[in-house]
Amino acid sequence: MRMEAWKRNLWICCIASFIVSVGMSQMAPILPLYIEELGVEGADDIARWVGIVFGCNFVSLAIFSPIWGRLADKYGKKPMILRATGWL
């Protein structure tokens, strides 16, 4: 029994989202140590910079997702997938 294409794509997207969230959660515990290693001192300043660095990912997603979506509509999804994997 073969799965429909949309169901397969949904599963792939769910697995990819899970992998990304696992990666982000693995970064969170060591980020304060890295920020401190860069020379930031004081618990308040370290916490502030950790919040800024961690939040930059989501801010950039909010800014660039509509742009990449519009380009995908114009040029197709395959070139955008190749662009995204080329930046990894």
Closest CA to 54 of 20, 31, 85, 22: 31
pLDDT of residue 47: 94
Residue segments in the chain with a per-residue pLDDT below the cut of 70 = 1, 87-88
Looking at residue 25, its pLDDT comes to 83
Distance CA 18, CA 2 (A): 24
